[in-house]
Amino acid sequence: MDYYSSQISNLIEELARLPGIGQKTAQRLAFHIINMPEDQVESLSASMISARKNIHYCKCCYTLTDGDLCPICTSDKRNHGIIMVVENTRDLAAYEKTGKYEGIYHVLHGAISPMLGIGPADIRLKELLVRLQGEVEEVIIATNSTLEGEATAMYISKLVKPTGIKVTRIASGVPVGGDLEYIDEVTLLRALDGRVEL
């Protein structure tokens, strides 16, 4: 790419390494960045560096945060007796956006996947068991509804049950607004199995 100056080529290459950013998008982003006001470029770049430097795992729930504990774990408005187990921070964010969940979280950072060689020791399961020694009423398993997520849910439920703590799994079924015609058979059967009385 010697028809660009080396600085543009460098920037395009670096941007193209980000996930989901191909060569074309990287090129468009690079030209945009070059035309951005200088202070905006500096602030974007400073945000990146400071986030990378200061963000680490919450010592309690293992979400990403800049303090020792995350805002959710330190909040006294949350019910610390209910722990929702999620696969990653984005899943936590998805439930937080609903604004209705009052408990706290535990982020596993992955799911058990024999195919990818990820075993129970590779995700934050040991840390979950340590937390269960405190005063916990309920563990809500909110791993994804994928093969790996389901396997992880089964594994966790087997681990937790002997402690006597209530273990629940989020419901799976037809999504709200979903048209039955377009929904796969496994989901339809799940929805039937999970039917509730009106």
Chain residues that interact with its own copies, rule: CB under 8 A:
1-8, 10-11, 14-15, 17-21, 25, 27-34, 36, 38, 40-55, 64-67, 70-72, 89-90, 92-93, 96
Structure tokens given for 112: 């058990």
CB of 53 to its own copies, least distance (A): 7
CB of 54 to its own copies, least distance (A): 6
As beta bridge partners, residue 103 has 79
Phi, psi of 51 (to 5 degrees): -65, -45
Nearer to its own copies among residue 8 and residue 191 (C-beta) = 8
- 65 by Cβ neighbours in 10 Å (0-12 / 13-18 / 19+) ranks as buried
Nearer to its own copies among residue 91 and residue 155 (C-beta) = 91
CB of 46 to its own copies, least distance (A): 8
Nearer to its own copies among residue 74 and residue 145 (C-beta) = 74
Nearer to its own copies among residue 14 and residue 163 (C-beta) = 14
CB atoms within 10 A of CB 107: 25
- With residue 141 as reference, give the H or E element that holds it: strand 138-141
As beta bridge partners, residue 64 has 57
